Structure 1
Amino acid sequence: MLSITRQRLIQRSTLNSIARFKLFSQYSTENKESSDEKSCHSAEDLKKTLEEKEAILKETKDNYLRALAETENVRQRYKTEVESTKKLAIRGFSKDLIDTVDILTIALKNVPAEIKIVENSHEDHKKAVKAIEDLSLGVEMTLKNLIKTLERHGVKEFNPHGKKFDPNTCQALFQVPMPGMEPGHVFVVEKKGYMIHDYVLRPAEVGVVSDNK
């Protein structure tokens, strides 16, 4: 009787052990599946987060490059405006100086070459001639210095004599037929033209050969 009872206890213990093993196995399987599922979700979330960060980084980089390009454009525009302002700052003043150049040039042309030849031995005449020579030399030096000053500031004269008439740089005062000369060309320059850098400060005043027909 005792043996049967022990046998039953052993069987019951064995069944309990088997049940606990099955329960543990089931729990382990479910836990593993849950862990695998969580790991899968974590990897997907990490990938999604990484993609979002990369998109934000790309957008930030693009915005930076656009801002950098715009800054460079603004800097170039500012530089161009400053250079243009500097070039034109003395435009009005230079134009007034050109009139002075014209006056001095005319003054030099009006000094007769004959007056420099002293034929009369009279002392007063010699003094008068010397005074005119000194005045002529002074005007000439002033004119040369003035022209050099203008050139230092980008103002240069141009003489279109013999060249094809250009309405952008020349002003035609008159047109006459000139035998032996090509129509549309400048044959006389009444006033030379002046440029300040790339701008026409004053157009040249010229006479143009007209069509002989």
Structure 2
Amino acid sequence: MAEPKEDDFLDDVSEAEAEAMADDMAEISDEAAELDALRAERDDYKDKFMRALAETENARKRSEKARREAEQYGGSKLARDMLPVYDNMKRALDAAGEEQRAAASALIEGIELTMRELTNVFKKHGIEVIAPQVGDKFDPQLHEAMFEAPLPGTKAGEIIQVSAEGFMLHDRLLRPAQVGVSSNPG
């Protein structure tokens, strides 16, 4: 038996059937296009959702960081305003000689107790004293050079005098220590 040819098949299909098949094919094509459009819309919404989710997470992280910084460093203005009180009390204690200590021992003891309480409050809130010593190396990250002078027996860059102590609030510098620095040539 001979194999049917494509032309034979087309001859068997009536014109009405051909139109119906063409309509079915067009309908399938329209449905496929509509399905593609729905998939594209779904992907667009999914992308927008993922971006909104990421932005929300980033906003949460930013607000958490801001909260931590406010907690740690929010009192830095007050702390800076308290530093001269510390300086004045320290000067008062340093200026009191043996004669004044004997004559006004209760007053000196009161100043010492107040100074101790102030340093305890500083420590409680993360404020540390930067107390360089004569002979230490000058560190521009922690010290402020108030003057330079050639001092025999010292090397250039050594601290030769401490005018005022510095302070750190956690990892931030509140005030650098004020020092005099040797300018002797190395």
Larger radius of gyration: 1
Q: How far off its partner does 1:87 sit?
A: 4.2
Structure 1: tracts of 5 or more residues without a match: 1-24, 117-128
Q: Which residue of 1 aligns with 2:109?
A: 137
Contact 1:165 1:185 in 2 (8 A): no
DSSP 3-state at the match of 2:49: helix
Which of these residues, 91, 113, 125, is aligned with residue 106 of structure 1?
91
Residue type at the aligned position of 2:160: F
**Per-residue Cα deviation, 1:71-129 (whole angstroms, up to 9, x for no partner):** 3333333344444444443223212221111122222223334777xxxxxxxxxxxx3
Aligned-partner Cα distance in 1 for 2:81–2:55:
40
The verdict on how the C-alpha distance between 1:61 and 1:180 changes in structure 2, with shifts beyond 3 A counting, is: farther
Contact 2:154 2:184 in 1 (8 A): no
Aligned-partner Cα distance in 1 for 2:175–2:93:
22
Q: Which residue of 2 aligns with 1:76?
A: 61
DSSP 3-state at the match of 2:82: helix
Q: How far off its partner does 1:163 sit?
A: 2.5
Q: Which residue of 1 aligns with 2:143?
A: 170
Aligned-partner Cα distance in 1 for 2:145–2:88:
21
Contact 1:165 1:208 in 2 (8 A): no
Aligned-partner Cα distance in 2 for 1:187–1:100:
25
Query: Within 5 A, what are the aligned runs for 1:1-213?
Result: 29-113=14-98, 129=102, 132-161=104-133, 162-166=136-140, 168-212=141-185
- Considering fraction of residues, name the structure with more helix: 1
DSSP 3-state at the match of 1:194: strand
Contact 1:160 1:189 in 2 (8 A): yes
Aligned-partner Cα distance in 1 for 2:15–2:65:
74
Identity over aligned pairs, percent: 29
Aligned positions, number: 174
Q: Which residue of 1 aligns with 2:5?
A: none
Aligned-partner Cα distance in 1 for 2:158–2:17:
100
RMSD after superposition: 2.8
Aligned-partner Cα distance in 1 for 2:110–2:38:
80
Contact 1:95 1:201 in 2 (8 A): yes
**Per-residue Cα deviation, 1:14-58 (whole angstroms, up to 9, x for no partner):** xxxxxxxxxxx97x7444433432332232222211111111111
Structure 2: tracts of 5 or more residues without a match: 1-10
Contact 2:155 2:185 in 1 (8 A): no
TM-score normalised by L of structure 1? 0.68
TM-score normalised by L of structure 2? 0.76
